[in-house]
Amino acid sequence: MILLTRKAEFSASHYYWNDAWTAVENQRTFGKCANRNGHGHNYTLEVTVAGEVNPVTGFVVDLKQLKDTMEREVIAVYDHRHLNLEVPEFQSAIPTTENIAVAIWRRLEGKVPGARLHRVRVYEMPDLFADYYGEN
Ligand SMILES: [Zn+2]
């Protein structure tokens, strides 16, 4: 088995807010991130797939297909969007780096032909990232 990783970038806005809490509780927990006008990040996404090297092509997966899948399923939906307001999964989940990684996994799972999704890594900034390996 070999692991192959492809990177992509997207820019998006978000804020942190739990509707079950008061404004004071949200401010206390999330600080500046609770500002309802939101703020932006340049995210870096790394998608790692696992599989066997095809002896004919030398590939684990068709890189163009992997890139196209990431573009279609994630970048087209997240890039230059306000995650809280425009992306369905963040109507019910706070768009933290952790939740974004899980959401991207769910968007990609089963959609990469010929390989198994191994890891989704999302960088919110160069010194902060979350890894998700699925439920199992
Ligand atoms: Zn933020």
What Rg do the C-alpha atoms of the chain give, in angstroms? 16
pLDDT per residue as tens, the chain (136 positions): 999 999 999 999 999 999 999 999 999 999 999 999 999 999 999 999 999 999 999 999 998 999 999 999 999 999 999 999 999 999 999 999 999 999 999 999 999 888 899 999 999 999 999 999 999 7
If you measure from the C-alpha of residue 105 to the centroid of ligand 1, how many angstroms do you get, rounded to a whole number? 20
pTM: 0.95
41 is a catalytic site residue: no
Catalytic residue among 14, 41, 73, 124: 124
| Spacing, Cα 115 to ligand 1 middle (Å) | 32
- Torsion, Cα 63 67 68 72, to 10 degrees, reads 160
Q: Which residue has the tokens 């970048």?
A: 75
Nearest to 49 by CA among 23, 71, 67: 67
> Residue 40 corresponds to which tokens in the numbers above?
């932006």
Quote the ligand 1 centre to 86 CA distance (angstroms).
16
Torsion of CA 87, 90, 92, 98, to 10 degrees: 150
